[in-house]
Structure 1
């Protein structure tokens, strides 16, 4: 008899809920809009009540409280999504499911998925970025997330401006931070066109690649990971990956020797599944 596990990828736009097995096979997956806690969580709870689960893994948008000895552990904290500020996510799940619950950020979960079953499998370290509606990242070393007083917020690091870029940035907190310059809303605000509809030949993509290459450059010099994985909707542009590699090579300028770039700077091996696989794997860890 297979052990059933639950997965929740709690994103700012939608919640992706799945049930899978302890060999990380996804059996069923559904999604619900991220509206209010009352509406969204009712759908989540009803979905999981159909199954005899042994544990649940949650990867949530943040910021979140990750420290188990904190009085607000399991809460979403200072999110711009006002209805979810200070929301006791894990506590609400515990009220309905007497199960072990793994709790981390959505990008940590995706990083873990790639670490156990994707491009990070068999390696000691990886860093995963998602570039979509927002920008976030998770870093893993020897099976552990790199964290301190909180989880990293690498999506809000600063950049060196491209010489042709006058865009003021779209982040409500920092203006022209990484997220404010490269995320989907920033692309649409500066060009008037959604990223998926922007022609490959549009000059903006050179600026986007320059900024994403800076991310890879800074990550390389700070962490020296064995692989850097770029996920999210923006990186589904087929031409972007090679542009980023080319800009990265210029920025590094021979200073450090990395693995071959086609193996070092990549998109997810698990395509759209890293977060779900990661949540299932983290849930599995809870019942070992």
Structure 2
């Protein structure tokens, strides 16, 4: 958790002068910026969402990791499935002054398959290396505060968030696991069936199924702020599968909001029955994200 230190020495007039100087610093408006980085010899393309901030200000920074299948930087599998889950999450985080980076995973968007050419030989470790490269690209940005790095993963991206947190040298201060894959893959492969799990993806399926998420969660750095959500209408990752993951995070002595049950919400953070392509995140899910980033809120006024 970030610590804010307020100086108490020096004259009061100096404090007033500092406040005046901060207000006179130009305000940079909110907006999206294109970004690219390299992983395994392949250029990955993504988007950095910047909240409104003062020029030169360091911001908390979140890596957003997409879910299973051919899911792009926005959380979509176009043209059929376009809920915009990650793009909307970026906007929600931006309301609290948190910048974010989201990217086109292999096989999607502008990134494509790169050196892998197709899905035949790619495995879970390759996707993890790509996400680690994204995390390091975010950490290197001049606007990012290296002490306030976060990872937000949706669905399979929740498992990837745990794997990335284990792999990186500069550990994240917080992990938000949104409707995360919380058990081995094969028990849920029928409900998660999509383009990635075709007959040519046996390598990936085996590599994912070899990972038991609670085993990774037990290795999360002590003191990491953690959020886990489950929607009561989520048939992909039902709430009944969550307890072993929560137990593992507790054993790792994580802090923070912990479990947030989202009544009536499905896997895409929609109220049950909402068309999948309605581009919205229900208020309960937004509140969970706001609660998660509360220690790092950087609100900028004009």
TM-score of the aligned structures, taking structure 1 as reference length: 0.33
Normalising by structure 2, we get a TM-score of: 0.32
**Structure with bigger RCO (C-alpha 8 Å, 6+ apart):** 1
